[in-house]
Structure 1
Amino acid sequence: MAAVACGIDWAEGHHDLAIVEEAGAVLVAERISNDAEGLSRLLAVLADYDPIGEQLPVAIETSTGLLVAGLRAAGREVFAINPLAVSRYRDRYRSSGGKSDAFDAMVLANVLRTDRPSHRQLPDDSPAVQALRVLTRAQQDAVWERAELCNRIRALLKAFFPAALDAFERGGKHQLHSSACRTILQIASTPSDAARLSQSRLAAALRRAGRTRGVEAEAGLLRDLLRREQMRQLPAVEQAMGMQLRGIVRQLDAVSATLDELEPAIEAAFTAHPDAAIVASFPGLGVQLGARMLAEIGDDKTRFADGRALKAFAGAAPVTRASGRSRFVHARRAKNDRIAAAGYVWALAAVRHDPLWEQRYRARRAAGDRHVAALRKMFNSMLGKLHHCLTTGQPYQPDLAFGPVKIAAA
């Protein structure tokens, strides 16, 4: 009988493939190497079993990696199956809990054989969006890593040098990840080192960090704050903590340099995309945040059947659990965390800077929603409008996007 699907159980050193026919019988079970030779062998096997005029779809438990890239470059339909779903499908064939790589490949192939309409193939995004996604995810990871490093520095300074926190966490540009803070903490990593710093040395450090205005006044203020009387650790412990602090600051320097490099690259990639003008027409979406949204949504217009599918993907749509007389509506947990994080910032920016969005936010709060719930509902509404504009190719128009505010009390 004709083959209908292929499953691949991927691993670091090798991959197991299985091709099944309409009744579920395995036609081919083979192990290939994780290299160019293995990819060539895989494509050859698939070509041998392709139905006339069609190509076998491929199921695999990942959406990234060189193997997936090679399959997509060859024009194959690739379905990334959630490993949790695969574990449920596995119970259909073996209740004992036993498994093997070849067995998992067979299960993956049968997932497509029996339930292909329930799964979506990887989107056919353009190379430009795929490259933009790499850049924006690298930026988002670096931002999260910067926050983690700042938290570590803050906790360490509280333990032995609290005066530095008063000096560098005054709001505005005075933050732990600022260039001035990183530069001065390298030369004043302990209270003893800070006490020996003159105003002129602090001013020189501020200039090295890029400050051009009010240098002397800031240097004098920093000198007074850093020399303020405080509780101290034992000298040997203080020196050890200072060494630890310098090491973390060097890591923060590297992350900050990465962010400085990524920002112009993202701006160039985003503004060059044909959908950039549509995304940027929405209130609250600047270049960097708009780039994240476009990268995660993609430019494959067939990826989401409608706005509701995009809302579910982003975690903006709620989930209803109903059984008998009980009915519970809660926030969606299974979602794209990256677009959800960007969506919160987007909703907050739109509410703060656009009167129409602020009006709807106030209405939601008046109806009893808490701050986070109100912003999530704003994000939910925004996504529907963004999906419509991207699908139809028209920019955001507030006079068409909004009707009268009518929100029933919760």
Structure 2
Amino acid sequence: MFVGDDWAEDHHDIEVMHSVGRRLARARLPEGVTGMARLHPIVGEPAGEDADKAEVLVGIETDRGPWGRALVAAGYTVLAVNPSQAARFRDRLGVSGAKSDPRDAHVLADMVRTHGHELRPVAGDSAQVEAVNVITRTHKTLIWERTRHTQRLRHALRDYFPAALDAFDDLDAADTLELLGKAPTPAQAARLTVAQISATLIRARRKNVAAKAAALQTTLRAEHLAQPEAVTSAYAGSVQALLAVLNVLNTQIKTLQGQVEAHFGRHPAAEIILSRPVGVVLGARVLAEFCDDPARYTSAKTRKNYAGTSLITRASGEKKAALARYVHNDRLIDALLTQAFSTLRVSPNAHAYYQRQRARGVGHNAALRQLANRLVGILHGCLKTGTRYDEATAWSHHAELATG
């Protein structure tokens, strides 16, 4: 039995297909318990007395959420279909470009019927790693939002208060936000005293307070081109709104970081991941995106392919090229590249590996990706064997090549 499930926010279009491609049933079901209760009879009725023995393969574009978990719990084999794959498969069944939810359900059902052996089954990840995934993704999303709002603040200050950009290096820092909140216009900033600036720097736990306060005051009192008073007032109101958002984001990011550390610390793989030269938050992100189903990655190569750090080969005739993967998990590749960059400072072998790539004429980004690819292989070996990271063992082969 082959089922196509085209998911929408409040309903599911379902098509049940026979092994020969004949449609057995079609329905639109509501999201939630009611829809799931109606699904089972629709799937079971065509099988008749053999319903308990029938194998049911469900193709669905999203495998997250209660609906996907309920499908797995019901005993169905759930296959996750990438939306890009489904769109290309749709073109095989018709070239008119017509599209509808019932038709998409038909495409998914036919796809799992003919290519089910090539699709990825939904992984059996633990609830612990799902919790880590949820909290780390929210934490990272807020960090990205802070970066966006900081850039908006920078653009606004550049247009009416350029002295602030000269005075403050870190626009989302606590002391910067407090001082700009007190004095959002050039005239107000010029009236700040050394005592006021010093008190703010002390609350932010800055060092060399006296020298920094004097330098800040001098910069803020320097002459700059100015906007008309009405325009400056409007910019000041906009900046104060951005400052309020950044203060909230800073507070919530700090709160969520504690929750990331707590959830990650309870996972059995945390000890192995943290044995490598990587921080807690970064380690949590890597675990959250790789997840922990032991059957998901059969080899280091499959883990590298999923990570997007390995190259892809495009060959046609006598032409052959190895190219970077541009289709990947953005959050995972971000964590892996950040991890690779930070490893350069603490791992002599990783730094030597990076330098060898650079010596071959490889650019910084490509060399960093190759280092990340190597670190993914090391991580796979550690997780597969349940052993902690050891610098000498992990890099022994490359050390021999370097000396040889």
Band the TM-score falls in, shorter-chain normalisation: over 0.9
Shift of 1:201: 2.9
Once the two structures are TM-superposed, the CA of residue 398 in structure 1 deviates from its matched residue by 2.3
Q: 1:215 to 1:72 in 2, by over 3 A?
A: farther
CA shift, 1:94, in A, is 2.4
- Alignment RMSD: 2.0
The CA distance in 2 between the partners of 1:277 and 1:163, in whole Å, is 47
What letter corresponds to residue 57 of structure 1 in structure 2?
A: L
Match of 2:192 in 1: 197
Distance 1:349 1:213, change over 3 A: closer
1:78 aligned onto 2:73: no
Code of the residue aligned with 1:249 in structure 2: it is: L
Equivalent positions of 1:334-353 (< 5 A) are: 334-353=327-346
* Greater Cα offset, 31-40 or 362-371: 31-40
Distance 1:287 1:49, change over 3 A: farther
2:124 aligned partner:
124
In the TM superposition, 1:353-368 aligns within 5 A as 353-368=346-361
**Pairs within 5 Å for 1:178-189:** 178-189=173-184
Secondary structure (helix, strand or coil) at the match of 1:260 reads helix
Q: What is the CA–CA distance in structure 2 between the aligned matches of 1:201 and 1:370, rounded to whole Å?
A: 47
Question: How far 1:406 moved relative to its partner?
Answer: 7.1
TM-score of the superposed pair, with normalisation by structure 1: 0.91
Tell whether 2:318 aligns with 1:313.
no
Aligned equivalents of 2:289, 2:257: Cα separation in 1? 17
Aligned counterpart, 2:367: 374
Q: Could you tell me which residue of structure 2 aligns to residue 329 of structure 1?
A: 322
Letter in 2 for 1:380: N
Identity score, percent: 37
Query: In 2, distance between residues paired with 1:332 and 1:404?
Result: 24
Q: Is the 8 A contact 1:311 1:384 kept in 2?
A: yes
User: Gapped runs of 5+ residues in structure 1?
Assistant: 170-174
Distance 1:258 1:69, change over 3 A: farther
Q: What is the aligned residue count?
A: 398
Alignment of 1:287 with 2:280, yes or no, is yes
TM-score, normalising length: structure 2: 0.93
Q: 1:55 to 1:250 in 2, by over 3 A?
A: farther
Match of 1:39 among 36, 41, 47: 36
Conserved? CA contact 1:314–1:337, under 8 Å = no
- Which residues of 2 match residues 85-164 of structure 1 at below 5 A? 85-164=85-164
**Structure 1 stretch 388-397 or stretch 71-80: which is displaced more?**
71-80
Match of 1:242 among 236, 239, 243: 236
1:226 is aligned to 2:220: yes
The equivalent residue for 1:278 is: 272
Give 4+ residue runs of structure 1 displaced > 6 Å after superposition.
none
Please give the secondary structure, in 2, of the residue aligned with 1:274: coil
Distance of aligned partners of 1:237 and 1:91 in 2 relative to their CA distance in 1, 3 Å threshold: same
- Which consecutive residues of structure 2, in runs of 5 or more, have no partner in the other structure? none
Q: Give the direction of change, closer, same or farther, for the CA distance of 1:49–1:200 in structure 2 (3 Å limit).
A: farther
